[in-house]
Structure 1
């Protein structure tokens, strides 16, 4: 260190009490409880800066980082209530030291390099303080989040178990009611409103199955099988006919022959009905002509593709990106689980489910893997 630097360090050290007194009049303290802490910080800050000023540039960062970590408790950098107070008060010391420096020497050309070095030293000090503060806070967040996540997942699991048990118990009396309504209709074919009652019961059973599939309970009694997608869509068309008639929606089908799928037929049925019901709900809200078009075909790699399109309004891009997430819904009475369950089912069948939407059509595309050749041959036999 040259003589000029030594003289300035000595001068600043000599004037530090005056600097500190002026600093005390200008600082901002978050609360009375922080008064003593702020004073200790200021004294240490001033001491560190005077010492740091003697270091060369390539040694400065190493010294500052080391001294900050050693004095972290006094500086209170890991428990700072508001980091902005600390930075503001530190900059007051910076200003007061620069004021002293400007009064020390009147020749600006000689004092400028020292002025810049002192300013840079203070800036580097604040950089390492905030860096260590941020690092510690990030570590605390990482340590806390797993606990919050575990608690959240435990609550969701418990809620799911309670809901599943309730819905499962609810289905038993519903099955009894459904059976007796069918018996009543067969014995009294002219009794009015029976078709409406049966239709509503079928839809209620469908919603219950949706919840149970989400909880995985419905898989217990299922077996994978090879089935005709054409036949399944015929059955679904008959099932949803009352809803289509009520909503004044036209259903168009364009299916290649012999579309076979290997999987759980009830789960695939669930997916198709849910997508079609969603389309009907959307189409009932518009006054223009409403169409649902189902197109099925086999690709070059023998995959099965089923496209269900409707003439409803375009789905906004932000919603399109989250439409398969759980609890995302635009319906006033929706659960936000329907499409989530659909995607889970299709992916379990090693397939894909995605949605595209423009001003003319909104299309849900299901792509399922090819059926093994030996399975098709066994079916033909």
Structure 2
């Protein structure tokens, strides 16, 4: 922020540099400028307060506390312009600073332009009450309009440049990510054939039984479950190929309700494996996320956990907990299946690494990418008693 002016020193400088000995237009204008500056300095706090009370600031603006500071800096630029000591570079410097703040805050630039125009109007209102002659008033206001218009022009210009650069970087990142995903798809196709074929074979078998007259209700439950599993695998496959922005389809998601829905979905697998679910939710508020993508993460890890505990004798248990740690939500998914070897833990989230005979090795890789896209991270610890996947998500 520009240094505040000391009234006496400022008046002396104006008097020495700009007040002529005769009654020339320059002398008249400088006297008027001096009078305006004295009036504005005497009412500076009132101007800032009035501007602050009437401007529009979005409640999510991360730089909203800097608004009074920027208003005062802009006021100082105008005062400097009246003393003929203001350079264009100083206007551009402040415009550049404010443009970076507006771009980082990701707030509509229209709000900024409105607030600048508001400050300009309030200053004109104060100048009109300074008592200077009408013939000099137009010259003072002309200086004011020029200063504010130049500031607005350079700020909006810089803001536009920053947003265009940001958009180009996002497009470049998305296109590059899309190319990598297409490359992954080529490698995934053959291994996914096995995962698609298994549930289809099961469905076809039970459909034949139904056609033969063996109308057991359990058959329909199994068919529904296998089709749901197939739909999940296809969704996982498509997730790797689609182009999307990070913020797409985000909303407030209640994790405990989402987990309950998922447990209903995988209930047949839990029942078949005689697996007990133990839950402990200390955090029950919402997280801002893509519900479908979080569902994909939890289902993937839980299905892996089911496969793991099936290798053990009873009791077979899966533990799900959720708690707050500072500004982070921690969701832990644990199971008492066999320990994952230490060398495997280092590569467990890499694409195409799998210990399953017909696995694709893409599930945990997709989980990791989804969580990172949400601004979080995921890790895994494993020993002889328990294997735990910890998911950390930022609190919205």
TM-score by length of 1: 0.48
Of structures 1 and 2, the larger Rg is shown by: 1
